[in-house]
Chains A and B, each alone.
Chain A
Amino acid sequence: MIKSFVSIFPSFLLALDIQGYIGGEYRIFDNENSSKQNYNRALEAKFELKHHTSEYSFASTAEFLKDYDEDSRTYARLNEFYLTKHFENSDFSAGRRVYFMGALEVLNPVDIISRQNFGRDPLDDRYRIGTYTAMYDYYSDDMQISLVAFLTERADEFGGATSAYNIFGTELNKKLRSQRGKNYPSLMLKAQGTLDEDYALDYAFGIVRGYDNQRTFTQNLEQEQWLSTTAFTYNTLAYENTLYKLEARVSNIDKNQEAKMDDYIYLGVGVEHTLAAFYENIDVGFLAEYYNWIRLDKKYLSADSMMVLMQNDFFLGLRIAMNNASSTELVGGVIADLDSGSEQGYYAQIKSRIFDTFLVDLDLRYLNPSNDRVTMMSLIGEHSRATVNIRYYF
């Protein structure tokens, strides 16, 4: 057994596909609150190993970030490590992985399996933390059925006391309180496919039984997760040059004497229209999205109290793809809180490739919080930030 493993292992190593990046990040803040730090300097790296055959595949991702000004942002994590066995019409997969669900661009209300890496950047949901999963996918000609078991064992990590994004005034307790212990698995059954008649519709719907994605906090800043049964759907309809998107989830919370939150609906709708070759090679895309978090019983915690980021919020965005050799892309947008006319967030990003292996990313954000309500943004306070990120890809 050991002999055959030793003989196979070198060829396995040679067949591994390796990719990733090494980079640096510099961020400056202009904070309303002078006790918060006003810059970050960080080094980062990501290494991905993959191996694929017709019978099985293996994937692993390691992530590193060293922040020289904010220790709580520093981490080294084997974020993904999973093995998939392929059958004729199905796959079985187990391990730690990032699993995405959704259709919208700014936020995905149905993306409930892999949590955002809030410690790295609470304003950027591209960074996700891997989740322990075991899943079985069955594929028919026009549909995929998935059964997924997953653990939500990890407490969210937020910035340290001096972080611009620490809204608690002190370091957050990393304890996660769970009704039935943190190793109680959640189960998801999902169906997805494409209807392709006069129009094309990508649809997905399913049900989840387990810990709810929406968490609450105790007085001493411990995190709490509650059992729920959730039904969800996410859909994209393509018609001519426009995509119409709908995401929704309805959560029914198991209410016991301690319960702090009630049943709720989280809804998002969006439109994305692209003008290809608008000017020479330049493509221009317009995006509009609306989100609402609706609690069904007002005696429990409000969305503001639970730090729900997009609640009755509207997003308007623009994406310009220059389609040049550097793949230069400009993205910008504004998020407006419709409950509070004053609360807005602005965002602009430009990224471009240089020498075919480096990617330069400049990201500007401005938060203008509500002055009449206590919201997550008002606890962060008014501030602007600029980030330059340079990565070498291999």
Chain B
Amino acid sequence: MRSLVVLILSAFSLMAMSGEQLSVKVDSVTEGFIDSKSISTMTLFNANGVKSERKMRMSRLEAENGDRSMIVFEAPSDIKSTALLTYEHFDKDDDQWIYLPALKRVKRIASKNKSGSFMGSEFSYEDLSSQKRFKYSYEDEVLEKKSMLISSRVPKDEYSGYSKQVVYVDAKSFLVQKIEYYDRKKELLKRAIFKGYKKIKDVWRFSSIDMENLQTKKRTIILVTDESLKNGLKAKDFTKRYLKQQ
């Protein structure tokens, strides 16, 4: 009887939960990694299923006013050691530089528009940046369907490639399972499925994202391996000095 009451009460509280409140819950289980290092393999499939691979070393530093990240490409071989440094800002445009090893050159990238494809994949720079809740405005209603909480959010960035994102969250763990992305014409564009969640140093991290472009039928799967958190990375590890040393 008591468990039934708890169940009814928790169901009631979920029903009353707004999109904003749900996003707070989601952030609470995935935030606090402080810094991360990982190897990512990105497999691109064209509409005919022909695949192509990219491999990269990724590191990220969590920060109040925007994360810092460094991506160093390992494959394909012609872009090996090419490195991308990003300073995310929530109140203005990100800073972004690319190191081109063949030219020994660090070049700034204009990064106002983050809707462009990342390395020819189905991921945009926007998809790979942090998904902090205050980057979106939320529709009030949260739907519950088959143990999933479903919420809609609209990117605040006017240069976003999306008009809306529909987020599917596991009702028990508050981990994101799926996101549907709607293009600027309000048509369903892409679907990302998050899999293989595991807890590393008390923070939940996914192991793979399967992104499918439903309009072009192209797919990209990112597989994250060797991830470590709280490595003691500092802001100065994310500077142009280290960009050139990769």
Q: Chain B's nearest CB lies how many Å from the CB of A351?
A: 9
Q: Is A276 an interface residue (CB 8 A)?
A: yes
Q: Is the CB of B52 within 8 A of A240?
A: no
Contact of A202 among B53, B108, B119, B239 (CB under 8 A): B108
Q: Is the CB of B44 within 8 A of A325?
A: yes
A46-96 contacts to B, CB under 8 A, are 50, 52, 57, 91
A386 to B244 alpha-carbon distance, docked (Å): 33
Q: Is A179 an interface residue (CB 8 A)?
A: no
Q: Is A161 an interface residue (CB 8 A)?
A: no
Q: Is the CB of A19 within 8 A of B77?
A: yes
Q: Is B117 an interface residue (CB 8 A)?
A: yes
A323 to B117 alpha-carbon distance, docked (Å): 6
Q: Is the CB of B108 within 8 A of A393?
A: no
Q: Is the CB of A356 within 8 A of B117?
A: no
Q: Is B110 an interface residue (CB 8 A)?
A: yes
Q: Mark B113-127, 1 if CB is under 8 A from A, else 0.
A: 111110110001000
Q: Which residue of B lies closest to A240 (CB)?
A: B112
Q: Is B95 an interface residue (CB 8 A)?
A: yes
Contact of A283 among B75, B76, B77, B116 (CB under 8 A): B116
9 closest Cβ contacts across the A-B interface?
A276-B116, A393-B77, A323-B117, A325-B52, A276-B113, A281-B117, A393-B78, A100-B104, A240-B112
A51 to B103 alpha-carbon distance, docked (Å): 19
Q: Is B195 an interface residue (CB 8 A)?
A: no
Q: Is A194 an interface residue (CB 8 A)?
A: yes
Q: Is A258 an interface residue (CB 8 A)?
A: no
20 A-B pairs whose Cβ atoms sit less than 8 Å apart in the complex: A19-B77, A144-B240, A196-B95, A202-B108, A238-B95, A238-B108, A243-B108, A272-B110, A277-B113, A277-B116, A277-B117, A277-B161, A280-B216, A325-B120, A327-B119, A327-B120, A353-B76, A356-B75, A357-B76, A359-B78
Q: Is the CB of A394 within 8 A of B77?
A: yes
Q: Chain B's nearest CB lies how many Å from the CB of A175?
A: 29
Question: Chain A at the B interface: mostly helix, strand, loop or mixed?
Answer: strand
* Chain B positions within 8 Å of A91 at CB level: 241
Q: Is the CB of B239 within 8 A of A393?
A: no
Q: Is A200 an interface residue (CB 8 A)?
A: yes
Q: Is B80 an interface residue (CB 8 A)?
A: yes
A242 to B240 alpha-carbon distance, docked (Å): 21
* Chain A positions within 8 Å of B93 at CB level: 200, 238, 240
* Chain B positions within 8 Å of A356 at CB level: 52-53, 75-77
Contact of A240 among B75, B104, B110 (CB under 8 A): B110
* Chain B positions within 8 Å of A139 at CB level: 236, 239, 241
Q: Mark A3-19, 1 if CB is under 8 A from B, else 0.
A: 00000000000000001
Number of A-B contacts (CB under 8 A): 103
* Chain B positions within 8 Å of A52 at CB level: 245
Q: Mark B88-107, 1 if CB is under 8 A from A, else 0.
A: 00001101000000111100
Starting from the known contacts A323-B119, A326-B52, A357-B77, 4 additional A-B residue pairs (CB-CB under 8 Å) come to A139-B236, A241-B112, A241-B113, A276-B115
Contact of A323 among B87, B120, B161 (CB under 8 A): B120
* Chain A positions within 8 Å of B113 at CB level: 241, 274-277
Q: Which residue of B lies closest to A141 (CB)?
A: B236
Contact of B95 among A98, A200, A243, A272 (CB under 8 A): A200
Q: Is B69 an interface residue (CB 8 A)?
A: no
Q: Is A391 an interface residue (CB 8 A)?
A: yes
Q: How large is the interface on A (under 10, 10 to 19, 20 to 34, 35 or more residues)?
A: 35 or more
Q: Chain A's nearest CB lies how many Å from the CB of B235?
A: 9
A16 to B99 alpha-carbon distance, docked (Å): 20
B182-217 contacts to A, CB under 8 A, are 216
B24-61 contacts to A, CB under 8 A, are 44, 46, 50, 52-53
Q: Is B81 an interface residue (CB 8 A)?
A: yes
Q: Chain A's nearest CB lies how many Å from the CB of B79?
A: 8
Contact of B78 among A137, A196, A353 (CB under 8 A): A353
Q: Is A300 an interface residue (CB 8 A)?
A: no
Contact of A57 among B95, B114, B245 (CB under 8 A): B245
Q: Is A170 an interface residue (CB 8 A)?
A: no
* Chain A positions within 8 Å of B240 at CB level: 144
A353 to B77 alpha-carbon distance, docked (Å): 10
Q: Chain B's nearest CB lies how many Å from the CB of A103?
A: 8
* Chain A positions within 8 Å of B241 at CB level: 91, 137, 139, 144
* Chain A positions within 8 Å of B75 at CB level: 356
A160-209 contacts to B, CB under 8 A, are 194, 196, 198, 200, 202
A91 to B245 alpha-carbon distance, docked (Å): 11
A280 to B161 alpha-carbon distance, docked (Å): 11
Q: Chain B's nearest CB lies how many Å from the CB of A256?
A: 35
B229-246 contacts to A, CB under 8 A, are 236, 239-241, 245
Question: Are A200 and B108 also in contact (CB < 8 A) when A57-B245, A325-B46, A325-B52 are?
Answer: yes
Q: Chain A's nearest CB lies how many Å from the CB of B218?
A: 9
A266 to B214 alpha-carbon distance, docked (Å): 52
* Chain B positions within 8 Å of A19 at CB level: 77, 80-81
A111 to B43 alpha-carbon distance, docked (Å): 38
Q: Is A21 an interface residue (CB 8 A)?
A: yes
* Chain B positions within 8 Å of A276 at CB level: 113-116
Question: Are A98 and B110 also in contact (CB < 8 A) when A196-B95, A276-B115, A281-B120 are?
Answer: no
Q: Chain B's nearest CB lies how many Å from the CB of A190?
A: 14
Q: Chain A's nearest CB lies how many Å from the CB of B126?
A: 10
Contact of B108 among A57, A137, A144, A236 (CB under 8 A): A236
A306-353 contacts to B, CB under 8 A, are 322-327, 353
* Chain A positions within 8 Å of B117 at CB level: 277, 281, 283, 323
A81 to B110 alpha-carbon distance, docked (Å): 33
Contact of A393 among B44, B76, B92, B104 (CB under 8 A): B76
